[in-house]
Structure 1
């Protein structure tokens, strides 16, 4: 296995040899003879390495999470001066800073990696990484020694300027971003991509737990979690450095919050003194980064060398280096001159929550990635005559309320999501019962006149006009939409049909329910899912059962309300299908 020197690698001290002058050589030889004669006089002459070691060094390659690398490198420098030996050979520790996700994905092959992930010892920032490795690559050589090199709890941070003005959160539920699409959030919550950051994953874990406790049922939880995830996606950064830069710049109308480790908050304040953050410790406990000491070799010599360095890294002197870099020690001890109370740091260690299980890690990562995957949606709006009816208490027609709600729903989608718009009734397009108003394109795509597709859709939704004599060719339109989405299916996106209607199928001579389900079954493929989501509203919807059968056949959902003004909330519930448990 090749060894590469990283930025912290040092040549073994005392191993270089300089050419001596002849006079120096005679003096050294004379001194050596005196020592030998003296030892021989008392019968103590010894060969070998009394207080030292000989032969070639044993190079111990240690890969460390970047923020901990300076402290571990300082420990390694001290260790290398001790001439610690295994089988008479000096152990020389070389420290490299390597992103934890980079190593984990290098072992499992389940994510992007920059390479250079081999090492004899691995100290990631969290125990979640070896759990991911063990769940995805059970045969990987990875021994958990039970040693936590350092610890750092997750805390909530906000810019000190905002902390003086805004009410500080007290529980994790206070941190959950719950603003609906189009609404201004009270706080902007920033997070580092949980797919590559244990801090980001820990944030999801904490917010997920808070929502579970606050939600009376699974549907309520899924809807709330969907809203939270969408908000978090908008404030997500690819890495910690990018998150720090965005946080320091401010610029948001709402006071920004960010969950990070104590040590990260200390590092941030060191780099951005003019825009320092203040930390808060929330009720209910928190998740810790625990920096486990892991051995990745079965070689007997290297294993013993790793054990020697493990002993060194647990020493009092090593702990001094670790605390000086803003970490807590293995028992929660802290250097208050480093983590100062001036920025809200507390000496007492906060309550620790258990590290997420392998199943929780998998579920949360899947949920985040599903929400991150862009959507490809064909939205279909009913323009039958009944859409002219007025919605009580609004002064607006069903058509106007639907258009406004659908426009608000556009805010749920990322700029790179693809959306298209159809309208339907009966005979709206010569002999067809449906008509394309806007093709399926990315929301950020621009038309010939320079307008974005999102604006085109918004204008189209506000301009839809009901047909006074139009009926509701619901089933024929479902089939046409399913055929179109199947023909143009994109495997890298969530392909969805979204139907907005205020009535039951009403098209004598048209397709019936059995005929629709039969034709969908002939087209459908488990590897190319196209869920149909229907939002039915108004008193004219008499029977939801057919819509439920269509939803069941396609893996979608159907919702009904007599109040079209509730469509916005239903959008959230429909979107939460993306975080539901996958079927076996």
Structure 2
């Protein structure tokens, strides 16, 4: 991985990027040894034969994922007492707790880091991190040794949240349908951008949903719903996740995907709110704590090999098992991982670690979904919206308002949404008017959250009995407005809900609309137009598809406006499709 030099290639010590000037020290040591040999040959006794180090240490900097650090620190204390030598110097292992994502992003520069990422040995919590490094920084000095220091499979905790409807497989954990169409459960993971557990959860869902989906569109829609559900339950870090699991938050304790060792550690800290673990069908990923070498210095490389030998020893294994981990062969200490909390001595089936390509795709997808939306929703209030939807006892307007309100639940509190209505001549000579500005859903207006303001506005929309459908003028005005107020840190989208074709004699034609959009559009400032057209009055979807193609959006048509919720999911799945391109 990276610039591999074989398992432990020996290079001149001056090649070390972190300890320059070591060549001079070695030269001095060599000269001293020559003197010692010469004096010994003359019968002069200079040193005792106790095998000590004489005060000279070769310090090995070992960066370890925080939860494993106590065990590795204990192993290092034992190791340092052995006075193991390399080139006459005692190897002294110094262990530091360092977040795995912090090191990975420090090497690649592809994410936020707190610094302090250099070391001679790196033991992250998962092999996904060196794969991320390989994907972004192929020339990084990072040598795999084939050693897994400890292991911990992913499990599910907090099943009380399922109220008797316990999941059997990973695809049962996350809702994969439109809001309101499937019973949902709060499932919490730590942000996959910073957590191997969170990222592995995405891989689990990706694999199971891909197997269960008959086609790409079905998979994209299901994966989108799953990602949105995970976003709603994502914790910034493990501490926040533990607090939520303990019931210390405002909501009921959620189900949570975590490692066995994290569950044991949680139970050790929250003994009044302990959890049981559950092993779901279909196998699982493991945190595998790989032993990686990050130096090309000859002496430090051999020192790293000596410490690797120690960390694989029987006494070292006792330290590892005592901290709630499995050993390299899956063995456990049943006194630590007790069956009283659901822990199983039998190791669950292991899934292969995701490839660097799939990790990159999932990370990009998560980050794209994580980016908040900025949406201008536009609702048709032409006269045809007064028509009744068969079998519902509701008008198209009422069904549309209810479906759009349901769609609001798909957006995070920090997403920005605004609402327009349109027909013909709804606002003096304009065919559209603003009902609610584009604002964060959590923003308050006179003590009322913007999400509630939008819900009330949608419920109060009234069709114009004599109104026609000035689609094209409204598209253009919306595109101009969203371009003028563009936010590069958000997904800027126009969402049109209409039950008819463009119907405005003497108004803007399709060719002119497309020309004007083209003059405004910029590849670096995308504003996709997504149109959901419904009802028997929609005779021709092709113009809407041309508009969608020109803006990177999509056009959907259904005769049943009650399907709008599912179409929302399909529309949002465009983000996944884009990251796969």
Q: Could you say which residue in structure 1 is the equivalent of 2:35? A: none
Bigger Rg, which one: 1
Indicate conservation of the 8 Å contact 2:244/2:253, yes or no: no
Q: Could you say which residue in structure 2 is the equivalent of 1:12? A: none
Within a 5 Å distance, the mapping from 1:271-286 to structure 2 comes to 271-286=269-284
Q: Could you say what secondary structure the match of 1:293 adopts?
A: strand
* 1:577 equivalent in alignment to 2:570: no
* 1:227 equivalent in alignment to 2:209: no
* 1:429 equivalent in alignment to 2:423: no
Whole-Å separation in 2 of the counterparts to 1:548 and 1:183 = 28
Q: Could you say which residue in structure 1 is the equivalent of 2:244? A: 246
Whole-Å separation in 2 of the counterparts to 1:519 and 1:481 = 12
Indicate conservation of the 8 Å contact 1:172/1:210, yes or no: yes
Mean alpha-carbon deviation: is it higher for 73-82 or for 344-353?
344-353
Within a 5 Å distance, the mapping from 1:314-463 to structure 2 comes to 314-447=312-445, 449-463=446-460
Deviations 1:58-94 (A, max 9, x none): 1111000000000000100000000101111111111
Match of 1:299 among 277, 297, 300: 297
How many pairs are equivalent? 543
Whole-Å separation in 1 of the counterparts to 2:223 and 2:560 = 24
Whole-Å separation in 2 of the counterparts to 1:184 and 1:274 = 32
Indicate conservation of the 8 Å contact 2:247/2:253, yes or no: no
Within a 5 Å distance, the mapping from 1:72-151 to structure 2 comes to 72-151=72-151
Task: Note the C-alpha offset of 1:57.
Answer: 0.7
Task: Note the C-alpha offset of 1:178.
Answer: 3.1
Task: Note the C-alpha offset of 1:539.
Answer: 0.3
Q: Could you say which residue in structure 2 is the equivalent of 1:190? A: 188
Indicate conservation of the 8 Å contact 2:58/2:91, yes or no: yes
In structure 2, the CA distance between the partners of 1:87 and 1:251, relative to structure 1 (3 Å rule), is closer
In structure 2, the CA distance between the partners of 1:230 and 1:547, relative to structure 1 (3 Å rule), is same
Mean alpha-carbon deviation: is it higher for 71-80 or for 228-237?
228-237
What is the TM-score with the length of structure 2 in the denominator? 0.90
Task: Note the C-alpha offset of 1:301.
Answer: 0.9
* 1:473 equivalent in alignment to 2:470: yes
Match of 1:494 among 485, 491, 499: 491
* 1:524 equivalent in alignment to 2:521: yes
Structure 2 unpaired stretches of 5+: 1-16, 20-39
Task: Note the C-alpha offset of 1:179.
Answer: 5.5
* 1:69 equivalent in alignment to 2:69: yes
Whole-Å separation in 2 of the counterparts to 1:230 and 1:361 = 18
Whole-Å separation in 1 of the counterparts to 2:58 and 2:448 = 65
Deviations 1:99-149 (A, max 9, x none): 000111111111111111111100000000011111111111111111111
Task: Note the C-alpha offset of 1:252.
Answer: 7.7
Indicate conservation of the 8 Å contact 1:86/1:301, yes or no: yes
* 1:540 equivalent in alignment to 2:537: yes
Task: Note the C-alpha offset of 1:582.
Answer: 3.5
Indicate conservation of the 8 Å contact 1:177/1:189, yes or no: no
Indicate conservation of the 8 Å contact 1:179/1:185, yes or no: no
Whole-Å separation in 1 of the counterparts to 2:265 and 2:177 = 30
Whole-Å separation in 2 of the counterparts to 1:167 and 1:403 = 32
Match of 1:206 among 204, 207, 217: 204
Whole-Å separation in 2 of the counterparts to 1:422 and 1:439 = 8
Q: Could you say which residue in structure 1 is the equivalent of 2:26? A: none
Whole-Å separation in 2 of the counterparts to 1:283 and 1:346 = 14
Q: Could you say what secondary structure the match of 1:412 adopts?
A: coil
Task: Note the C-alpha offset of 1:187.
Answer: 2.4
Task: Note the C-alpha offset of 1:437.
Answer: 1.3
Q: Could you say what secondary structure the match of 2:574 adopts?
A: helix
Deviations 1:284-341 (A, max 9, x none): 1110111010111111111111111011001111111111111111111111111111
Whole-Å separation in 2 of the counterparts to 1:537 and 1:253 = 37
Q: Could you say what secondary structure the match of 1:574 adopts?
A: helix
In structure 2, the CA distance between the partners of 1:49 and 1:237, relative to structure 1 (3 Å rule), is farther
Whole-Å separation in 2 of the counterparts to 1:341 and 1:512 = 71
Indicate conservation of the 8 Å contact 1:388/1:466, yes or no: yes
Indicate conservation of the 8 Å contact 1:65/1:97, yes or no: yes
Indicate conservation of the 8 Å contact 1:48/1:54, yes or no: no
In structure 2, the CA distance between the partners of 1:231 and 1:250, relative to structure 1 (3 Å rule), is farther
Q: Could you say which residue in structure 2 is the equivalent of 1:237? A: 235
In structure 2, the CA distance between the partners of 1:380 and 1:90, relative to structure 1 (3 Å rule), is same
Task: Note the C-alpha offset of 1:231.
Answer: 1.2
Whole-Å separation in 1 of the counterparts to 2:49 and 2:494 = 77
Give me the CA root mean square deviation.
2.0
Q: Could you say which residue in structure 2 is the equivalent of 1:512? A: 509
Q: Could you say what secondary structure the match of 1:117 adopts?
A: coil
* 1:154 equivalent in alignment to 2:151: no
Task: Note the C-alpha offset of 1:50.
Answer: 3.9
Structure 1 unpaired stretches of 5+: 4-39
Q: Could you say what secondary structure the match of 2:409 adopts?
A: helix
Whole-Å separation in 1 of the counterparts to 2:382 and 2:172 = 44
Mean alpha-carbon deviation: is it higher for 53-62 or for 190-199?
53-62
Task: Note the C-alpha offset of 1:255.
Answer: 6.5
Whole-Å separation in 1 of the counterparts to 2:454 and 2:96 = 51
Task: Note the C-alpha offset of 1:234.
Answer: 1.2
Indicate conservation of the 8 Å contact 2:135/2:357, yes or no: no
Indicate conservation of the 8 Å contact 1:185/1:254, yes or no: no
Q: Could you say which residue in structure 2 is the equivalent of 1:60? A: 60
Q: Could you say what secondary structure the match of 1:274 adopts?
A: coil
Q: Could you say what secondary structure the match of 1:423 adopts?
A: strand
In structure 2, the CA distance between the partners of 1:44 and 1:278, relative to structure 1 (3 Å rule), is farther
Task: Note the C-alpha offset of 1:546.
Answer: 0.9
Indicate conservation of the 8 Å contact 1:53/1:90, yes or no: yes
